[in-house]
Amino acid sequence: MPRPAEGRLEQLAREIVAHELGVEVTRFDDGSAPSQVDAMIHLPSGLVPLEVVADHHVEHERQWNALNKLGRSIDLAPGAPGWWVTIEHTADVRRLRTELPAMLAALPDEGERDILEPDIPEEFYALGVVGLQALERPSVAYLSDEGWNSWDDPVQLNDWVERVLARETDVPKKLRKVDAPERHVFIWATIGSAWWVNRQLIWEDDEDEGEGELPTSGPALPEGVTHVWVAAYITRRGCVYYSERDGWRRADWLAEEH
């Protein structure tokens, strides 16, 4: 069986760790056995495992795929007012496409047509609609997801790391299979991750200097994890890493350079 291709984020994580630690980091998972770690770090003390995981917004990805498959525009009756419809990530795209045309046709066609929270009619809100705005083009409704940034989730870096590892229970399990003094996990924050975490990945010399200040203490790590790396592949975001000995530190890497 041919070796499966290495993902871009796994490869980039290896490059970042290798550059920061000044050692070789080689790919390990060759598909020959289940639950292999992604890579091995060649420390002077010996090989230590590295597992790479990304904080994907599962609901958003599921909805995004549904919009791509079923379509983002809905045909309305000829001459009917057009609408830009903003929906929550949990909204059912198939149900929206079925029920929205009649619901939009029943809206009163008078006065201000932009309807935003908290004035969304209850029947729309029940479908996950959080915004209705007028379009100049008639006879069509466009479905738009709610957006990426989670301003209402002011989670700090340590709590976020704990939350991700509590969800990704296979990560410490994989690492525990390797007998080594250290076990590293590399977590990619994505554009769908909590905004407050991405903000903490801003470099200190950025125009928002000081807003990326790192915690003075570390996360409570599950058994099997001793070191944590966190990075975001977003412009002007970097990478930070944690060990119990050294606390949180910034790596010499910026996303815009890659």
With cut-offs at 50, 70 and 90, classify the pLDDT of residue 207. Answer: very low
Average pLDDT over residues 26-49: 91
More confident of the two residues 37 and 30: 37
Report the pLDDT averaged over residues 139-149.
79
- CA dist list (Å): 172 to 18, 33, 53, 60, 168: 21, 17, 11, 26, 8
Task: Name which of 21-30, 60-69, 82-91 the model is least confident about.
Answer: 60-69
**Which run of H or of E encompasses 191?**
none
Give 91-123 pLDDT, tens digit per residue: 999 999 999 999 999 988 765 678 877 788 999
pLDDT tens string 40-50: 999 999 999 99
Question: To which residue do tokens 């007028």 refer?
Answer: 134
Return the closest-CA partner of residue 231 out of 141, 166, 157.
157
Task: Show the domains of the chain with their CATH numbers.
Answer: 8-56+150-257 (3.40.1350), 59-145 (no CATH)
Contact by Cβ (8 Å): 81, 217: no
**Average pLDDT in the chain:** 87
Q: Find out whether 150 and 189 touch, Cβ atoms under 8 Å.
A: no
pLDDT grade for 1, boundaries at 50, 70 and 90: low
pLDDT of residue 213: 77
* Average pLDDT score over residue span 159-179: 95
Give 3-state DSSP helix, strand, coil % of the chain, rounded to 5.
Answer: 30, 25, 45
Strand boundaries in 103-139, DSSP class E:
115-116, 129-135
